[in-house]
Amino acid sequence: MECSVVRAARRNRQPARRGRLEWPTCALPTRPHIQPMYSRSSEPVQFERDCDAVMVPQGDSVTLPAGSYGYITQALGGSYTVFVEGNLFRIAGKDGDAIGKEAPPGLELPENASDEEVEALVWQQLRTCFDPEIPFNIVDLGLVYEAVVSHREEDNQRRVDVKMTLTAPGCGMGEILVDDVRSKVEMIPTIAEADVELVFDPPWGRHMMSEAARLETGML
């Protein structure tokens, strides 16, 4: 079941295609009955090399071949959502060079940073995680229930335990978001491990969104 905030951003779902997407583009499923997911202000791109991608919202891994043309519809949190022949694809920041983008810079933290400073940076990183179709980070969407910094007993190294949810339990991008959260948190210096757990109790509701997110989506 899809929630109202996602319906406001998502126009349609199509059956997933797995593996390498071959050109010409007629091989890709299209959605002629909907409005394009890009506008005249969207940045056009051409893939300079074969590029790993994830189909949105199905969550299937594909390869977009070199020479493909598309439009960047969202560039938030270091990753990119690209519209290619009627479908959306998420491109990880590490593959940004395939569309002419530089990798995001590394994180810095004082050598003797306190747990409180580390926790603040954890929440900062969580705010760089976005649903590929919704221009709000997962914190403002109310998807993060907790993020706890602790120390491992065996070596006293820091670990972070995150509990988060999804706007709808059947979301195909769930594992992609979990992996994104884990990798973003483990980028923080002094953090040796991040455990990210998907939970659905309590269930997500629009009241969990920040006021800014509700205002932007017309859900106040």
Interatomic CA distance for residues 6 and 10, integer angstroms: 6
Interatomic CA distance for residues 181 and 126, integer angstroms: 6
Identify the weakest region by mean pLDDT among 40-44, 71-75, 146-150: 40-44
DSSP class of residue 28 equals: S
pLDDT number for residue 156: 86
pLDDT digits (tens, 9 = 90+) for 13-24: 333 333 444 332
pLDDT number for residue 37: 54
The count of residues in the chain is: 220
Rounded alpha-carbon distances, angstroms, from residue 180 to 37, 38, 107, 174: 23, 24, 16, 10
pLDDT number for residue 133: 77
Among 185, 211, 67, residue whose Cα is nearest residue 126: 185
Contacts of 127 (CB under 8 A, 6+ apart): 77, 137, 138, 139, 140
> Is beta strand 79-84 parallel, antiparallel or unpaired with respect to 19-20?
unpaired
Banded model confidence at residue 45, pLDDT cuts 50, 70, 90:
very high
Q: What is the mean pLDDT of residues 86-106?
A: 92
**pLDDT of 6 strictly over 80:** no
Interatomic CA distance for residues 101 and 110, integer angstroms: 28
**106 or 37, higher pLDDT:** 106
User: For residue 65, what are its two tokens?
Assistant: 């071949």
The terminus-to-terminus CA distance of the chain in angstroms comes to: 22
Domains, the chain, in order of start with CATH, read 4-99 (no CATH), 115-216 (3.30.300.130)
pLDDT number for residue 204: 94
pLDDT digits (tens, 9 = 90+) for 112-132: 899 999 999 999 999 999 988
**pLDDT of 171 strictly over 60:** yes
Contacts of 116 (CB under 8 A, 6+ apart): none
Identify the weakest region by mean pLDDT among 71-80, 128-137, 160-169, 184-193: 128-137
CA 63 to chain centre: 18
Interatomic CA distance for residues 6 and 127, integer angstroms: 18
Interatomic CA distance for residues 214 and 120, integer angstroms: 24
